[in-house]
Structure 1
Amino acid sequence: MGRALDIREARRMTQRTRTIRNAAIVGVSTALLGITAPVTASATADAAEPFAWTACEGTGVDPRQQCATLQVPMDHADPDSPLIDIAVSRIPSENPDARRGALLLIAGGPGGSSLNDPSGKGQKLPQEVRDTHDLIGFAPRGLAPSTSVDCGLEHGDLATSKLRPWPAPDGSVDGNMDTARRMADACARNGGELIRHLSTANEARDIDRIRAALGERKISAWGVSYGTYVGAVYSQLFPHRTDRIVLDSVDNPDPARVSRAWLAGHEQGVEDTFPHFAAWASKPGNPDRVARRTSDVRPMFLRLAARLDREPIPWPGANPEELNGNVLRQAMLDGLYRPSRYPTLAKLILAARQGTVPPAPEAPPEAVLQNVAGVGAGTLCNDVAWPKSAAVYQKDVAESRAEYPLTAGMPRNAMLCAAWPYPPREAPVRITDRGPSNILLVQNERDVATPLGGALEMRKALGRRAVMVTVDSTGHDAYLANGNACGDRTVSRFLATGQRPASDTYCD
């Protein structure tokens, strides 16, 4: 991806391709003093030009959805910084007489876009929320059709099992460090100046420019997964600009580790979720049953992964073109994101036990993968400094493999950030309890990507500012997705009326 994704081509991208882009996020993604927004950012945000809305290009969007482009500084701290484009969309309130304001939809990632979410997930919102709010989507900086970046990674390095760093079968991280250096060098060579300015804090500053261009004194938001961290950072930097904030499937805000904590969370997330899969995969009458007893599923999976470590199965059309132990482990991790994926995982297990493979999964267009990977790399690596020493990762991986064999050390391993050539431009934002009490957290008990333990850390950090709804459900993304009716009602009531539970709540 040594050249930027052509923006005009991206704007002609079909809805199907945009859907594939969102699916690709799974593969890219997951200092101690708080900071404030620079004077230049806060002083100029409310002087933003209003949006010039036009019809959206492409197919598959609601005809009511409108699109516009906003220019923001590449470097919010530099008044003379070059300007970059942020693509924004909206569907106006369906009842102007009831309109309260704007609800910003913040996608996960890093590398996810909410540009088409007003037409998509936004239409799942109850009528009273669609009446009271304009629905706003955007493509974050770096992600087409906003001004885009890419790293020109080798095709093999776009494999999910490379973007998530699985150790060698013997636990060695030497190969991961080599991969990190190769990928980081490609990003430095091909990513341009913009890749150095990708960060969660800068995305939050861009959001405040969006708010100002909308003409809103305050803005509400629904952030999902990584979007919860974006929403929390925005609420920290611009607390007086927030209205009703929903953080759904919540990231750990640990200011010392940031993205390292998110990656590490997968080991507990798998432990929380795998028993649910095992119960499903051993249920009598299940056509994809992999074992007769729930207790047999885990040891069977571990044996199969170890066998594939020794004897990979060719897998034409896949990336990589073999089913090895780490590819199976990655498929397991992907399959635990939501119960609707369990059959795909089970079919892969059953085929591998017979020495065969199913058809290779359809891959997103390579330009999309390159763009998403570039945004993910820049954001994750710029938000916080990662250790550079292989010895640090080797020690952590050994401990993780012993305690959490299903994830084989991956969650504590070295991403390309271990070789990132640029130091962070600012300290990570420390999330605190300073600000209005207008945040609602919603979190499934069993979530492989953002486990309950990390959400509890966010709840602790926000203190009196937040109330948390814990949902007895399995899967990533809770509200209107993999949660339950009780949780959905609670969040919908808050968005529509501002009414939150008086205290933390459990939805069974």
Structure 2
Amino acid sequence: MDTARLLRTSTTVLAVAGLLLSGCSAGTGHSAAASTPTGTVAASDTTSASRAAAPLAPLPTAVPDALKPYYAQKLVWHDCGSAGFQCTTMKAPLDYDHPVAAEDLALSVTRKKATGPGQRIGSLLVNPGGPGGSAVDYAQIAAARYPAPVRARYDIVGMDPRGVARSEPVVCLTDQQMDAFTQVDNDPHNQSEINAISAANQRFADGCEQHSAKLLSHVSTIEAARDMDILRALLGDAKLNYLGKSYGTMLGATYAGLFPSRVGRLVLDGAMDPSLSALDESRTQAEGFETAFQAFAKDCVRHTGCPLGQTTDAAGRYIVRFLSNLDAHPLPTGQSRQLGESLGTSGLIEAMYAKQLWPVLRVALSAANRGDGGPLLTLSDQYYERSTDGSYSNLMYANAAVNCLDLPPATRSAADVQAVLPAFRKASPHLGPDFAWMSLSCASWPVKATGRPMRIEAKGAAPIVVVGTTRDPATPYEWARSLAGQLSSGRLLTYQGDGHTAYASGSDCVDTAVNRYLLEGSVPPSGKTCA
């Protein structure tokens, strides 16, 4: 069973991409795309949603007296991890409306100072998305793999958001319970399987409440963005310079909406659309993954021995039959876990995040055709951040906690899901039902959502660069268009290609445009497109 709305550039994918920066990697497909890409929600739909959503109001520019101690704290840095990295812990209030020192959260921060040559510009806070991705882990990779001119003039900084990884992590299930959760069939064919989904969601929610009740009401994106402002001040920066990917764009855009006068140079790569409901997010994301699957299939059939067949139509029929067969006859994997339909689907979805994983998926599907589900299980484990020792990161726990607090549930009952199934099937003939049933994941959540769809304008903010990839599976291109249109100072940079997010993933054109902005403040020209 997948967790709905997982929006992140995983450290696994980035680590692979970093080895391929000079070649074709994540988001670097060079086939031409139409000016209005297929497989995304119509522009009129997102425009209507944006206009209907209320704008996010900025906070007062003056720091409230109750919060001044947080802005005045002293960070104590120590050497950690790889050579040149420093780590520290920052305190933030659990509840910004009622800060109590005894309830303060300890948030983990890492940095690598600018390497030179050239004059240091300041700190560049980075986030890989999720919600639930570790920014500390991501920063340590970014500090080695981002273009050298940026690393030379910025301190690369990562802070695990509240509830994530090293920052008071949300905990929900044991590793064994998580194994069981991931194997629940997300494409039910009878009432018994529908009941199993509802029961699994309830057990997940109950576990989160049991182990992390204090946190569940205070892991919203707005609170995490306010934490970022405290860190900005403690780093000595008058304005925030930030590069967020995937859900990290929601963090960055929210920061800009709350603190427009403190916006420095913000890059939002693989943008989310904050004006969409959870249901619209799920449906349009299903479209995005369908577009990515079609691109993978088109690429696969060009290779001799493609396990999907020789045409894209054959590939579509193959994947439906393959997943159905896994449901009826799970494959051995060389482990105690078998590869059933749910884990097979997760492995497929993981490979859609990055074009350089397509050859890995071809090999995994070929192995499955020979009766070996092990390679596809490995892809699924990467999706869930399950280690070889059977332990899980808290990615999926934080993901659910933030998503379920930020937006009201997409669906609240099995009847709701069945009502929207036709729209999901239309959006994604191959993966739509899975995404429809995933939309039920917040129905059992023990904490009522505090957020709503919102339009982020950030009036008065400095120019903000929004990067959109035309065949991005997880954050469809139309989301980037919508966010850039909402932001009063937004500028859209389009990458015509495949994969999830584009910067530092192999496109010299994208990297050059973003580098000029980060280093010189030069905004890409209107309509700038990289192919």
TM interval, shorter chain, is 0.7 to 0.9
- Distance in 1 separating the partners of 2:155 and 2:493: 25
The match for 1:66 among 66, 83, 86 is 86
Structural mapping, 1:17-96, within 5 Å: 32=54, 34-37=56-59, 43=65, 44=67, 47-56=71-80, 58=81, 61=82, 63-80=83-100, 82-95=103-116
Q: Comparing 91-100 with 33-42, which one deviates more in the overlay? A: 33-42
- Distance in 1 separating the partners of 2:73 and 2:501: 34
- Distance in 2 separating the partners of 1:203 and 1:271: 31
- Distance in 1 separating the partners of 2:208 and 2:96: 22
**TM-score (ref. length: structure 2):** 0.81
**Total equivalences in the alignment:** 472
Determine which structure has greater relative contact order: mean sequence separation of CA pairs < 8 Å that are 6+ residues apart, divided by chain length: 2
What do residues 173-215 of structure 1 show as CA deviations (whole Å, max 9, x unaligned)?
A: 4432222112111111111302221111111011011011112
Matched with 1:353 is 369
Contact 1:264 1:411 (C-alpha < 8 Å) held by counterparts: yes
What do residues 416-473 of structure 1 show as CA deviations (whole Å, max 9, x unaligned)?
A: 31111211245455312523242101121111111112222212222x4111111121
The match for 1:271 among 284, 287, 290 is 290
Equivalent residue letter for 2:100: D
Matched with 1:308 is 326
Structural mapping, 1:387-398, within 5 Å: 387-398=411-422
Contact 2:216 2:401 (C-alpha < 8 Å) held by counterparts: yes
Contact 1:66 1:90 (C-alpha < 8 Å) held by counterparts: yes
Closer/same/farther in 2, CA of residues 488 and 96 from structure 1, 3 Å limit: closer
The match for 1:334 among 319, 343, 350 is 350
1:166 positional shift: 2.1
Contact 2:262 2:461 (C-alpha < 8 Å) held by counterparts: no
What do residues 478-503 of structure 1 show as CA deviations (whole Å, max 9, x unaligned)?
A: 1011x522111111111111101231
The match for 1:461 among 486, 489, 514 is 486
SS in 1 for 2:448: coil
What do residues 82-137 of structure 1 show as CA deviations (whole Å, max 9, x unaligned)?
A: 11111111112223861222110112111111214443223333333223322111
Q: Comparing 168-177 with 94-103, which one deviates more in the overlay? A: 168-177
- Distance in 2 separating the partners of 1:354 and 1:313: 10
The match for 1:325 among 333, 341, 344 is 341
The match for 2:408 among 385, 395, 401 is 385
Equivalent residue letter for 2:522: Q
Structural mapping, 1:129-144, within 5 Å: 129-144=150-165
When the two chains are superposed, the root-mean-square deviation of aligned CA atoms in Å is: 2.9
Contact 2:124 2:241 (C-alpha < 8 Å) held by counterparts: yes
Matched with 1:147 is 168
Percent of residue pairs identical: 29
- Distance in 1 separating the partners of 2:174 and 2:440: 14
The match for 1:298 among 299, 312, 316 is 316
Equivalent residue letter for 2:526: S
Matched with 1:494 is 517
Equivalent residue letter for 2:434: M
Residue segments in structure 1 that go unaligned for 5+ positions in a row = 1-17, 24-30
Closer/same/farther in 2, CA of residues 38 and 153 from structure 1, 3 Å limit: farther
Q: Comparing 229-238 with 381-390, which one deviates more in the overlay? A: 381-390
Residue segments in structure 2 that go unaligned for 5+ positions in a row = 1-9, 16-52
Structural mapping, 1:98-497, within 5 Å: 98-153=119-174, 155-158=176-179, 161=182, 166-169=186-189, 173-257=194-278, 260-285=279-304, 289-317=307-335, 321-358=337-374, 360-361=377-378, 363-364=386-387, 369=392, 371-386=394-409, 387-413=411-437, 414-427=439-452, 429-462=454-487, 464-481=488-505, 484-497=507-520
**TM-score (ref. length: structure 1):** 0.84
SS in 1 for 2:374: coil
Closer/same/farther in 2, CA of residues 269 and 93 from structure 1, 3 Å limit: same
Closer/same/farther in 2, CA of residues 42 and 485 from structure 1, 3 Å limit: farther
- Distance in 2 separating the partners of 1:424 and 1:38: 24
- Distance in 1 separating the partners of 2:181 and 2:349: 11
- Distance in 1 separating the partners of 2:190 and 2:427: 15
What do residues 249-292 of structure 1 show as CA deviations (whole Å, max 9, x unaligned)?
A: 111212543xx44433331112221222112211244x655422
